[in-house]
Amino acid sequence: MDYMPMIFRLSLCGMLGLLASCSASRPHAGTQGQSLEEVYAQARRQGGEAGAAAMRDDLQLQGTLGYVRPHVPVRTPPHVMRVWIPPFADAEQNLVQGHWVHVVIADEGWTVGQQASPVTALLPYTTAPTATPVPAGGGRR
């Protein structure tokens, strides 16, 4: 018995049924006669307006609409450098195992009165000398 014609007929009926079901669906209301770009722009515009309105309503409920936060002091962390000490034998021929030493390069501090981004608060700061060094023994008499 040859099943190929029967399989072909069943697959053809299935494809025709799928095509008929797709053609029976109606387009969304309000989008007839508009291109895809126009529909996308309209949906994006409505979404942005709805998001702004929701944020405005939430801020009004909290009582913070129009509130500008003053400069907040930022605590800058210390700049710590890890230094690897390789294993070595000391003067008494004792083996000193290799280890890390953590050295503070710049102390922590406060940044007050200026607006700093979180990234710059994490970077190490460098201080330029403000006074000229006085030679040893050349102080006041």
pLDDT band at 65, cuts 50/70/90?
low
Is the pTM higher than 0.85? Answer: no
Task: Kindly report the three-state secondary structure assignment for every residue of 26-92.
Answer: CCCCCCCCCCHHHHHHHHHHHHHHHHHHHHHHHHHHHCCCCCCCCCCCEEECCEEEEEEECCEECCC
Three-class DSSP category at 17: helix
Give the model's pLDDT for residue 25: 62
| pLDDT tens-place string over residues 77-129 | 899 999 999 999 999 999 999 999 999 999 998 876 555 455 555 555 555 55
Looking at residue 74, its pLDDT comes to 72
pLDDT at 58 over 70: yes
Whole-angstrom Cα distance, residue 130 to residue 141?
23
More confident residue, 141 or 23: 23
Q: Between 50 and 20, where is the model more confident?
A: 50
User: Is residue 130 scored above 90 in pLDDT?
Assistant: no
Q: What is the pLDDT of residues 1-46, one digit of tens each?
A: 678 888 888 898 888 888 777 666 666 666 677 888 888 888 888 8
Predicted local confidence at residue 116, as pLDDT: 47
Beta carbons within 8 Å of 107's beta carbon, 6+ residues apart: 78
